[in-house]
Amino acid sequence: MSMPRSIIALAAGCFGIGTTEFVIMGLLPDVARDLQVDIPQAGLLVTGYAVGVIIGAPILAILTARLPRKGALLGLMGVFMLGNLFCAAAPTYELMMAARVFTAFAHAAFMGIGAVVAADLAPPNRRAQAMALTMAGLTVANVLGVPGGTAFGQAFGWRFTFVAVAAIGAVAAIAVALMVPRLPAHKADSMLGEFAVLKRPQVIIGMAMSAMSAASMFAVYTYIRPILTDVTGIELGSVTYVLVVFGIGLTIGNLIGGRLADWKLMPSLISLFLLIACLLALFTLTSAAPLSAIITLIVWGMAGFAVVAPLQMHVVKEAKGAPNLVSVLNHAGFNIGCASGAFLGGLPIAHGFGYQNVPWVGAAIALLASLTGLFSLWLHRRAGDREPDYEPEATEAAPAE
């Protein structure tokens, strides 16, 4: 059985979301100059977006809980397009910050609902792979969208980049309208009943593992440029090419993770986190030479993003009765992990241990995530039950093939 074409539409939306989140990093000098602020202040526009994701996740989860899911996805793409147009037109720094936060509100909700929709439309033995294909839009954004958007902004002005991203959102919205079948809202007795799933230990454990996966990655990735230039000795102009190769590793790993999750979910997660811990520990040594550093980065990128689809599938399985809610909140957890990882990764630098020791922080967090996975598996076996199966909602129309 083949995957439905509707997953392409969902991936297109994730591509736009991933591009708008990170493209501003390459445009900071231009944005700062135009809005008459310094670079650190402009950098807070990245933080503001992450805060918007975290705040917006529970709000949008509540607002979209009773909506048919196709309608919710189209509405969220509308928020995304409008927010990017606001960014393009913002005359002041304060309004630009407000526009970034507003745009971010659509982030977790679209990706969370989109992941559940992809799983619902996929064949029973390929649901995690469907989630991974949807999330591939995010990884491809790092390979193509971010460098392409940066180059476009440098050529025509940073405001036109946000207009272009809004256009990507329009294409994604049209694709969702044409390719995604009508899907009813997930049924629940009440909103409080949906939030009651957060009392389930396995749901909280799964979301904590998601946050730890992001913290492990961003503890190192946040400082990857100075690691590659100051420790590895790679020229600054070549770092971009290395990061593109790293992004390709993320994309490949994401697809591999979907297959592993459909095969053996929790054993795969536990093993992947152990592999990440070992790779980051190894990176403290291999970062000393360009070839060994690049090879380690590629393999780490593959393993680091291979956990994303399994983690999303895990929390959705555990959240019977409220998969959309938990899937959306899980993406907020990823962003909390991104922010905390950047902080934790900076501690060795702040205490004088140097960039070469930053990967130890990511390795320790990955090891903790692996132990958390073992604890989750032990809880299941202690209770005498296996991991729950995922039961999709029926669609109102056959999936487009």
**What's 196's domain CATH number?**
1.20.1250.20
Position 398 in a domain? no
| Enclosing domain of residue 166 | 1-185
Domain contains 401: no
Inform me whether the pLDDT recorded for 389 exceeds 90. no
Residue 372 has pLDDT above 90, yes or no: yes
- Phi, psi of 235, deg, nearest 5: -65, 145
337 within a domain of the structure (yes/no): yes
pLDDT band at 2 (very low <50, low <70, confident <90, very high): low
Residue 325 belongs to a domain? yes
Closest CA to 9 of 124, 142, 121, 158: 121
Mean pLDDT to the nearest integer, 301-325: 84
Domain boundary residue, one of 185, 203, 219: 185
Residues 201 and 149 in one domain: no
Residue 145 lies in a domain: yes
The residue written with tokens 């922010």 in the block is 339
pLDDT score of 165 more than 60: yes
Residues 237, 172 share a domain: no
Quote the pLDDT of residue 401. Answer: 36
Contacts with 110 (C-beta within 8 Å, 6 or more apart), sequence order: 13, 14, 17, 73, 76, 77, 80
The pLDDT value given to residue 400? 38
Domain count, the chain: 2
Q: Say whether pLDDT at 26 is over 80.
A: no
Q: Are residues 71 and 97 in the same domain?
A: yes
pLDDT tens string 182-219: 877 666 555 555 677 778 888 899 999 999 999 999 88
Angle at 127 between CA 12 and CA 277, to 5 degrees: 85
Determine the residue type at 294: I
Mean per-residue pLDDT, 2-7: 74
Q: Are residues 202 and 254 in the same domain?
A: yes
Same domain, 252 and 348: yes
What angle separates helix 127-140 from helix 93-121, to the nearest 10 degrees? 150
**Pair (172, 247) in one structural domain:** no
Most confident option among 8-22, 273-287, 345-359? 273-287
pLDDT confidence of residue 186: 61
Q: What's the pLDDT score for residue 373?
A: 93
pLDDT in tens, 93-145: 999 999 999 999 888 889 888 888 888 888 878 888 888 888 888 888 878 88
What's the pLDDT score for residue 374?
Answer: 94
What does pTM read for this prediction?
Answer: 0.81
Q: Are residues 142 and 205 in the same domain?
A: no
Query: What burial class does residue 327 get, using C-beta atoms within 10 Å of its C-beta: 0-12 exposed, 13-18 middle, 19+ buried?
Result: buried
DSSP symbol at 397: S
Instruction: Lowest mean pLDDT of 6-20, 77-91, 307-321, name the range.
Output: 307-321
397 located within any domain: no
Give residue 74's pLDDT.
94
Q: Is the pLDDT of residue 394 over 80?
A: no
pLDDT for the residue 22: 80
Domain stops at, among 185, 218, 246: 185
One domain, residues 38 and 51:
yes
| Distance between CA atoms of residues 212 and 192, nearest Å | 27
Same-domain pairing of 174 and 193: no
On whether both 232 and 104 belong to a single domain, the answer is: no
Q: Is the residue at 400 inside a domain?
A: no
Q: Which of 141, 156, 185 lies at the terminal end of a domain, its last residue? A: 185
The whole-number average pLDDT for the span 362-377 is 95
Distance CA 46, CA 42 (A): 8
Task: Please report, to the nearest 10 degrees, the dihedral formed by the alpha carbons of residues 65, 71, 72, 76 taken in order.
Answer: -160
Pair 234, 207 in one domain: yes
Are residues 353 and 300 part of one domain? yes
Residue 224: the pLDDT is 86
Q: What percent of the chain has pLDDT over 90?
A: 36
pLDDT of residue 192: 58
- 399 found inside a domain: no
CA distance 291 to 280: 16
